[in-house]
Each structure stands twice: as structure tokens, then as C-alpha cells.
Amino acid sequence: MTSSPIAPTFTTPRVRRASTQHEGRTASLLLSPTFLVLALVILYPLLSAVYQSLFSAQSGLDENGFVVEGESFVGLGNYLDIFAGSDSGRFYNALFNTSVFTFVSVALETVIGVCFAVMMNRAFRGRGFLRAAILVPWAIPTAVSGLLWRWMFQADGIVNSISGNQVLWTAEGFASQVAVITAEVWKTAPFIALLVLAGMQIIPEEVYEAAKLDGASAWRQFWSITLPLVRPALLVAVLFRLLDALRMFDLPFVLIGPRKSSVETLSILAWDSSNQLQYGTASAFSVILLIYVAVIAFVFIKLLGADVAGSGDERRQRKAAKAASKGAVR
Amino acid sequence: MRQRSQRRRMIVGGAILATSALALTACASGESGSSGASTEELTGRGPITYVSSPDSSGAAQQTIDAWNAEHPDEQVEWIELPLDADQQRQQLAQNAQIESDAFTVLNLDVVWTSEFAANRWITALPEDELPVDDMIPATVDAATYNDTLFAAPYYTDGALLYSRTDLLDAAGVAEVPETWSELQAACDAVLALPEAAGMSCYAGQFDKNEGLTVNFSEAVASAGGSLYTDDGTPDVNTPEALTALEFLVDGFESGMIPAEAITFQEEQGRQAFQDGELVFLRNWPYIFNSLSATDGSSAVADKFGVSPIPGEEGPGVSTLGGRNIAISSYAENKETALEFIQFFVGEEQEEARLELSSRAPVYASFFEDDAVTATYPYLPTLLDSLESAQPRPKVVQYGTTTAAIQDEVYAAISGDKSPEDALEDLQAALEEING
């Protein structure tokens, strides 16, 4: 295929090539400020973090009790310490927590978010109110919602007094993980709902009318029309949530507290090391988290084909293929 | 087609990179310097900054206003840091690492003093130019590192035992408990009363944060032990530390300390005592005003008293809290800064601040002043507590040290580890930190 599939027919090949070259140069020129900003705010910190992660801060005391500081190059030593050092249990525990929190909460969010979207998509009285009510949790800053849930989950809080139990939610253990996942789902299900709702509103009404004529039940309509057509939007929403949840920090930090092993995530480990002025280890944790996030995202895109870049013609092709296969089944 | 999909991949990759790079940006700094000053001459005059946690009472602002009125050419500007102590420490440490002259006079928690001094982030102060002889010795000790004064004590804090004197009277307990066994006996008597139904005996701060380190090191000192030997070697695997840890662990097991106290920081315990759910509470002086509120918010107004905390065989030993004021090594106008500190912690200003703030002054004389104790009746008790108070471990790596203590003590009181194992692991952890 040539570089420009929809070239106007009346130009000669030579002129066309010249004009695309010219357009390409203009495009690069126009985009260069963006690339420059991206390089400054993303590429530089990223490379700098990778570089930093190869150093370790040594500190000892001299005979007067003053700190003698030095940074020494340790190569992959920080990574080796994380994966196999004496404190590696803490890393694997955090990796496990991060994964469990991410997959459990994103799964729950997706189900609840889709339900919310279906409700919000219906025309009924008070719909505007319902939409606003569902979106409120998303609008609250995470740290604030962490505090809010902390009050509800504390020993004499509303959760215990309504359920009549004496569960210590904010101490260590399974209860604290449940508390974090509850608060996370409460906060972010509206995000999925919002994106799915946007996807639903572009589904033409005629499709549903045709389905009704064919006698399809509401359930069948949802499975065979709504869900497949809303799939691209849903996948993007879930992908964003996955990336976000893997970086989870503020909710467990505020709701349960730092250094509680049952809710410690990778981001909290990075924070903790930088708090101890161990920037090398902190950077190494962040780089590991970055790689983990990238791998999950890559697998997700490969497996489910989430259309992040929005290449429309592919989508059209896929849809056509799907329609064809459906026709064949019928 | 291939080109298009390649470009698409690039965009996707870029998006992923962009999202996850946010996690990294915070950690990409950290060039460290090693130069610094120790006992140089403090020179330079001009405007300075005072960097501190917020002070809602307005007392510190009043002092600064008074200074600024007298020194038009050497104005002090207040830079306010977040309320959270960890964040304050982080900002102060980062400022020191980039050797910025933006911060001049620093308000430091007593436990940070060693770390800041050892890193040469703060300058040694001339001892003979500050009124340290009139101050409570424990507070001066907490501002000293390696026999050199690095900061001036600003205000101080110690532990108090709050008790429900009304219930003690009703149960016929004549004296507030001075030892742990008397505490238990008093509880047994009080909790047998019908009006004490549903109450618990004792609580402190046992959630996994700084409060736990405070409560544990207090218990160890109250059992006659110490976390470090005099030359600074960790020494926690001792019979005294075991007695102390068992006091807490057994307390949780027997129900003397209620199970929910493992989630208590200062405020949750205050709330429980204020609602009449506890007979005894270990806490700081600051809760005195909330407890004695007569607007109906406190169920225990006029029904409680304060005393020094109990110990194993006699009155316990409090941990020392409070704040110090120091000069950043990288600041300009250090001469002005020293004069400002002399003014700030001087007796006159400490007295003026007492009208607005209940923070305990560092001069012993105020604690026996009738006019002052009329407003703050707990001060004489607090002085008793402070005179025997022990600073928390004076170690350079305080952050890792307190984290290690919290890890092991929390594991013991939540039943994950036996007290013996916890102390053994703690000893190993502290030895590793000390290097």
C-alpha cells in the first residue's frame, strides 16, 4: 500500500510525492512543540529515574557523628535486592496486593459501572438527578474519599454500627483489604459508567426497534446489541482503570495507613524508600511498576484488542467481519 | 497497512508510557551534597524565613508580628508546611538536599534533630548565647547531638495518664495507679461497678504509626529498660523490654486493653475516653481542653484527673515530644536568624504565647506559676512527667528505626508473633540499620 491511500486522482505521481513530503515537514514542524514538551515532562524524568535506579546512596557516620554521604554505581544491584534481597518478601507481598486490588476492583467496577450506565441511559423522570448522584464519587478527590471511608470503617464507625459487628477494618488483615476494595469500587465505578454511557448513546435507536420487531427480549438485546456495540468504549475504560489501579497509592495510604503489609502496594513501597532518602531503590521500584503496568496493558490490548488509538477503518472492518459471521450463524 | 499499524502501536506505546510515567516523575530527583557547616560563625543580616507546621492558635504568628514590628529591615516571612509531620520532614529534607537558601529557620520535631544535625542540614548553635540553663534539661538534651547544641527547644510535650476519678472514688480506689498492677487492680474494682458496664480499662496509641513507637518506648523505659545503650548500640532483647511488650500483649489478650485500641491514634482514643468508654487513657496534654469542655460534647467533664503514667514498679517514664527551632546550613542571614531564635524562645515570648496556645513552654518556672496553672491545671503533673522524660531513640536514621519498631511491636500486639520473637527480630533489624 502506498503512503497515501486516498490521493486525489487528478494529480500526477511526481506532484503528489512532493506535496506529501511538504505536508510531512509541516506536520513535524507543527508537532515539534508537543514532542518537545513530552520529551521534557515524560522522557527526561523517565530516563532520569532509570539512571537513578542504578545508584545507591551509602551513608555512614564519621568519628564526629556526621553523615558521610556518597552515591555509588551499583548497576542492577537495587533490582537484585528487590527481587532476591533480605527484604524481598515485602516486594512480593506488595506485588501480590497490587495485582489483587487491581483485578478484583476493576472486575467489580466493570460490572457495576455497566449496570449504572444502563440505568442512566434509560429515559425516566429524575434521570438527571440519578446521573449526578452516580458521578459524585468520581468527583471527590481520592484522599478525601479515603478519609471519608476511614471514618465510616473505624471501630465505632457507621459500618460497624449498621452491621452490628465489631470488625476492625483499619487494622491489618483481610478486612482492611475488603475496605480498600470497597472504597475503590465506590469511587471509580462511575468512571466506567460514564465512558460506557457515552458509548451507548451513539448506538442508533433503529437497531433496538428492529430487535423488538424480531421479538428479542431485553436481556437478549443487552447481550447481542448493547454489549457488542459498546465494547470498544468499555475496553478503553477498563484499560484506563487497569493502568490507574496498578498505581494505587492514596486510598490504602489514607484509609488504612502506611506500612500495613496487607494493603501495601508497589507505589507505597516507592514512596517509602524515597521517604527514607533511598532514591535509588525508590526509582527501581517505580521502574518495576512501570514495566509491570506496560506488560499488563500490552497483554490486555493484544488479548482483547482494545482500540486505544482509534483507527476507524480497522474497526469498520472488524464490525463487518462480525456482521458477516453473525449472518452465517443465523 | 503495515505502516499504519506500526504508527498505531507507537501511539499506544506512547499512551502507556505517558500514563505510567506519572508514577515515576516524583522519584527522579535526589542529587546529594555532602558539604555543610558545623560550628562556623553565624553571619549575615537581612530578611529571613520561618518554616513551620501550621499553628491554628495564632500564637507563633503573634511572636513573628512582634519581631517584625521591631525589625523593619530583617523581616521574618512564615512559610507554612502541611500538617502531616512526614510531609514536613520530606519537604525540609528535600530543601536541604538541593542546598536551597529558601528556608532559614526550621521548626523541627524533636525526633528529627539527630538526623538533621548528622547530615549537617542544620548549623550548630552557640550554647552560651541561648538561655538553655533555665530550660527543662530533657528538652535541651533533645536538641543536642553529640554534645553539641543544634537547635533551641520551642515547646515540649509529655505523656499524661487520664483517669476517671469519679469512678475510682465510687469504687473506693483511693489513689490513682502508679504501677501497672495497681492499674489492673483499679480497673477490676471499677469495672465491677454497675455504672461502668460496657467500659474498657486502658488504652494508648497502638495503631501502626509514630504513636506506637512512643507507647512502646515509654513502656520499656517504665519497666526500667532502654532501647539503646549509652553508646548508641541497640539493646532491645532484654528482660525489661520483654516485660514492657508483655504488658501490652497481655493487655490485649486479657481485654484490659480493648481490641479496637489497635486502631487508635491520638484522636480515636481521645474520642473513646470523652464518650465515657475508658477508665484510663494515656495521651498528650492537648486533649485536656476537649475533655473538660462543658458544652455537652464531653461526657467526662469534671469527672477526670491527670497523673504521671504508671510503670512496672513505680511511676512510669514519659517519652519526650515537642518541637525545636534550628537554622538551615544553607541559609543566608544566619546572624539575624540566631537573634530571631533568641527572641522566639525567650521567656517573654513563651509567656505571651501561653495566652493563646496550650503548648507547654520549655521553662520550668511557668509550670509552678499560679496564674498559668489556673488556665492549664495539668502543668504541674506534666512537669513531673517531663523531669524524668526520656527522648525517643536519638538515631540518625530515625525514619527506618521507628518503622522497624512499629513493624515488630505491631506484629506482637496483633498476635502474629510471640513477644520474644518480635524483640529478637527487632534487635536484628536495629543492628542492621546501625550498620
ipTM comes to 0.74
Give the helix/strand (H/E) hosting B279: strand B278-283
Residue A309 pLDDT: 61
What pTM was estimated for this model as a whole? 0.80
The per-residue pLDDT for B426 is 97
Residue A44 lies in a domain: no
For chain A, counts of helices (H) and of strands (E): 15, 2
* Residue whose C-alpha cell is 536551597: B100
Report percent pLDDT > 90 for chain A: 55
CATH number, domain at A250? Answer: 1.10.3720.10
Domain positions in chain B: 48-157+321-382, 160-319+397-434
Taking the C-alpha atoms of residue B220 and residue B157, their distance in angstroms, rounded to an integer, is: 19
Q: Report the domain count for chain A.
A: 1
Domain B160-319+397-434 falls in which CATH fold? D-Maltodextrin-Binding Protein; domain 2 (3.40.190)
Nearest residue, CB atoms, A172 vs list B17, B264, B414: B414
CATH 3.40.1390.20 fits B48-157+321-382, yes or no: no
d(CA A222, CA A228): 9
Residues 6+ apart with CB under 8 A from B65: none
**Contact: B30, A277; criterion CB under 8 Å:** yes
What per-residue confidence (pLDDT) applies to B390? 87
Minimum CA–CA partner of B263 in chain A: A171
**pLDDT computed for residue A135 by the predictor:** 87
Which residue does chain B place closest to A172, by CA atoms?
B414
In degrees rounded to 5, what are phi and psi of residue B392? Answer: -65, 165
Cβ within 8 Å, pair B268-A274: no
> In chain B, positions 194-223, which contact chain A (CB-CB < 8 Å)?
207-209
Strands (E) across B99-254 are located at 105-109, 144-145, 148-149, 152-157, 160-163, 200-203
Contact assessment for residue B312 and residue B222, using Cβ atoms and an 8 Å cutoff:
yes
pLDDT, position A165: 82
Per-residue tens of pLDDT for chain B, all 435 residues:
444 444 444 444 444 444 444 444 444 333 333 333 445 678 899 999 999 988 888 889 999 999 999 999 999 999 999 887 778 888 998 899 889 999 999 999 999 999 999 989 999 999 999 999 999 999 999 999 989 999 999 999 999 999 999 999 999 998 999 999 999 999 999 999 999 999 999 999 999 988 999 999 999 999 999 999 988 899 999 999 999 999 999 999 999 999 999 999 888 999 999 999 999 999 999 899 889 888 888 999 999 999 999 999 999 999 999 999 999 999 999 999 999 999 999 999 999 888 888 889 999 899 988 888 888 889 999 998 898 898 888 888 888 899 999 999 999 999 999 999 999 999 999 999 887
Q: Which residues contact B107 (CB under 8 A, 6 or more apart)?
A: B50, B51, B52, B53, B154, B323, B324, B325
**For position B8, what pLDDT does the model report?**
47
User: For A277-326, how does the pLDDT look when each residue is reduced to its tens digit (9 = 90+)?
Assistant: 788 999 999 999 999 999 999 999 988 876 666 555 555 555 555 555 55
d(CA B248, CA A131): 50
pLDDT at B182: 96
Residue B345 and residue B153 in contact, taking contact as beta carbons nearer than 8 Å: yes
For A149-156, the CB contacts below 8 A with 24+ separation are: A149/A179, A149/A182, A149/A183, A149/A186, A149/A255, A150/A254, A150/A255, A153/A179, A153/A255, A154/B263, A154/B268, A155/B260, A155/B263, A155/B264, A155/B268, A156/B260, A156/B271, A156/B272
> Cα(B136)–Cα(B29) distance, rounded to whole angstroms?
40
Q: What is the rounded distance in angstroms from the CA atom of residue B150 to the CA atom of residue B120?
A: 10
Strands B200-203 and A67-73: unpaired
List, for residues A12-25, the tens digit of each pLDDT value: 555 556 667 788 88
* pLDDT surpasses 90 at A83: yes
- If you average pLDDT over every residue of chain A, what do you get? 85
- Position A2 scores a pLDDT of 43
Q: Cα distance from A214 to chain B (closest Cα, Å)?
A: 39
Residue type, position A177, single letter: Q
Range of the domain at A94: 73-329
**Quick check: A137 and A190 in contact, CB under 8 A?**
yes
Asked, for residue A45, whether it belongs to a domain, the answer is no
- Contact with chain A for residue B179, Cβ under 8 A: no
pLDDT at A133: 87
Q: What is the pLDDT of residue B332?
A: 92
* Cβ pair A61:B86 closer than 8 A: no
Residue A59 lies in a domain: no
Query: Which residue of B4, B12, B17, B19 is the best one to mutate when testing the A interface, meaning the one whose CB has the most A CBs within 10 A?
Result: B19
Is A60 a member of any domain?
no
Percentage above 70 pLDDT, chain A = 87
Is there a domain that residue A275 lies in?
yes
What pLDDT score was predicted for residue A79?
94
User: pLDDT (tens digit, 9 = 90+) per residue, A103-159?
Assistant: 999 999 999 999 999 988 887 788 888 888 888 999 999 999 999 999 999 888 899
The candidate with the shortest Cα–Cα distance to B165, out of B44, B354, B307, is B307
Q: Is residue A159 part of a domain?
A: yes
pLDDT at A329 over 80: no
Task: Determine the pLDDT at residue B248.
Answer: 97
Contact with chain A for residue B434, Cβ under 8 A: no
Q: Is residue A167 part of a domain?
A: yes
A-chain residues within 8 Å CB-CB of B29? Answer: 279
The SS3 call for residue B52 is strand
pLDDT > 80? residue A201: yes
